[in-house]
Structure 1
Amino acid sequence: MDMQMSNRVPDWLTPLAWAYIALALLTAAAIGYDIYARQRRHGTVAAELVWIASALYLGPFAIAPYARHGRTPRTTATTTSYEATNPASGPQPVAVAGLPGGGASAVAHLVGVPLVIASGLTIAGINLWVMIIVIGLLAMTFLFAYERASARHGSGTPTPLRAAAAAAILTVLAFDIGMGGWMLLLHFNEFMPPASDGTFWFLMQVGIMLGLVTGYPVVAWLAQRHQVVAPA
C-alpha cells in the first residue's frame, strides 16, 4: 500500500479504536432491534437503514438523535399510517438530513476499501487516490438510490432523476472536503494505519463525522430547495 505507514500512530489509539468500534456495532444492533423486533417501522426500508448506518460512525452518539428524531411509535393493528411512519418529535433538523450522506459514506468505505486493496490499483504509486475516488463514486451511487427510494412528496412520486443525482453529487463532493481531506492529512503525516488495523476504521469513522460538518452547508441549501430528504 503505500498507505501502511503506521509508525507514527500512538499505541493508546488501538484500545480506544476497538472500544469505539464495539460500541458502534452494539449501537447499530440496538437501533436495528428497536426498529424491527419492537416494530418501530418507518415509511421506507431506506430510512430505517440510514438510522442503523448512522451508528456505524456516530457510535453511541447516534442514540440521542435516533430517540428524538427517528424513533417512531410501535406499529400495531390500530396504528394509523401517519403514526407508523413519522416520529412524534416534529420537523427534523438539517443535521439529520445529512445522515443519509454519512450512511452512504460508511457503507462505501466497507465496500470500497477491501475492493481497492484487492484490486491492487494505484495512482502515482499509492492506492489512497483510488480509494478516495472509489469511495466517492460508491457514496454517490448509494445516496442517489436513497433519494430515489425514500423521497416522497405530496403526490407520492419519487424525487426526479436529475434532482436526486444533483443532490447526491453535490452532497458527496462537499462531504469529501472533510472525509477526503482527513484521509490525505493522515497519509501525508504518516498517521494512516493499514486497513487491517482497527485504528484505520476508527479514523475513518472520525473522517465521516468531519464530512458531516463540511457537507452541512450543501445539505442545508438542498433542504431549502427540497432536493434532499431527511430519514423519517
Structure 2
Amino acid sequence: MQPTWLVALSWVSLALGVVSFAIVLADTYLRGHRQPVKVMEIVWLVTVLYVGPAAVRLYWHWGRPEALSPRRREDQPRRPHRGITVTKVSRCGAHCALGFIVAEVALYAVRFDPAQHPLWITYAGDYVAAVTIAVLLRVLEGPGRSVARIWRALTAVVSVELVTITAFEAALFAWLTLAHHMIFPEVPLRPDSPTFWFAAQIGLIAGFITAWPAASWQVGRGLRAAPH
C-alpha cells in the first residue's frame, strides 16, 4: 500500500508536467510559434512534460526565440554557448524520456515485474529504445528514407549524441536503482501507479542535470545535436 502523501505528491508533480506541456503546446500550435527544426517541437513538449515549469522557462528563453526568428545566416553572431547546450541536452533528454516510456510500457505489457526480475533488463530496454528514437528522429528530419540516410542518421547519433545520451541514462539508472531498493523499498514501482512516473520524473531531471557537462563539452568541440 502506497502512502497517501506520496500518491498525492506524485499526482501534483505529474499535473505540473501536464500543465507545462499544455502551455508549450498552445504556444507552438495555437499561437503559431513553430520551430524552424520541426523535431524540436517534439523535444520541447517532452522536456516540459518531465521537467515541468522550469523547462517552460528554458523554452521561453532558448526555444521560443528560436521559433520566432528567421534561420540564422552565416554573417550573424552565433547563439550563446548556454543556449546551444540547453537545446542539445533537451534533445538527448527527449530521446531518453521517450525511450523510457516506450520500453517500460512494453515490458509492463508483457508482465515484466521489476520487483521479481533484474533491473538491468529494463535498463537495456530503455537505452536501446532511446538510441533507436534518436536515430528515427534524425531520419525523419530530412527528405528520403533510403538505407543510406538511415546509416547517416545512425552515424550522426553515435558521433554527436551518444555521449550525452549515455550520461543522461547513467544518472537515470542510478536513481531508479536507489528508488527501487533504498528509497521506496516497500512501494512497488510499476507503470500502473503515479508513484512510478513521479520517480521517473526525478530520474529524468537528474539525467538532464548530469548530461549538461557532457553536452557542454561536445558543444565546445563543435558537436551539436541539431542545426542552430
Q: Name stretches of at least 5 consecutive residues in structure 2 with no aligned partner.
A: 73-77, 143-148
Equivalent runs, 1:4-15 vs 2, <5 Å: 10-15=3-8
1 CA distance for matches of 2:4 and 2:114?
Answer: 30
Aligned partner of 2:205 in structure 1 is 209
After superposition, the C-alpha distances for 1:62-121 in whole angstroms (9 at most, x for unaligned) are: 11111111114887xxxx7438xxxxx943152342011221122122211110112245
Aligned partner of 1:154 in structure 2 is none
| Number of corresponding residues | 211
Q: Structure 1 vs Structure 2: percent identity of aligned residues?
A: 26
SS of match in other structure, 1:98 = helix
Q: Partner amino acid for 2:28?
A: I
**CA separation of 1:82 and 1:57: change in aligned 2, threshold 3 A:** same
Q: Partner amino acid for 1:132?
A: Y
Q: Name stretches of at least 5 consecutive residues in structure 1 with no aligned partner.
A: 1-6, 84-88, 152-156
Verify the 8 A CA contact 2:167 2:211 in the aligned structure 1.
yes
- CA-based RMSD of the aligned residues comes to 3.1
Q: Partner amino acid for 1:11?
A: T
157, 165, 178: which one aligns with 1:185:
178
Equivalent runs, 1:69-218 vs 2, <5 Å: 69-72=62-65, 81-82=70-71, 90-91=79-80, 92-121=83-112, 125-126=116-117, 128-147=119-138, 161-189=154-182, 190=185, 193-218=189-214
Shift of 1:164: 2.3
Richer in helix (by share): 2
Taking structure 2 as the reference length, the TM-score comes to 0.79
Shift of 1:130: 1.7
23, 38, 46: which one aligns with 1:30:
23
Taking structure 1 as the reference length, the TM-score comes to 0.78
Q: Partner amino acid for 1:211?
A: G
1 CA distance for matches of 2:67 and 2:170?
Answer: 39
1 CA distance for matches of 2:205 and 2:4?
Answer: 23
The structure showing larger relative contact order (alpha-carbon pairs under 8 Å, at least 6 residues apart) is: 1
SS of match in other structure, 2:224 = coil
Verify the 8 A CA contact 2:20 2:48 in the aligned structure 1.
yes
Verify the 8 A CA contact 1:94 1:223 in the aligned structure 2.
yes
2 CA distance for matches of 1:143 and 1:45?
Answer: 14
Shift of 1:231: 7.9
Verify the 8 A CA contact 1:47 1:150 in the aligned structure 2.
no
| 1:55 has 2:51 as partner | no
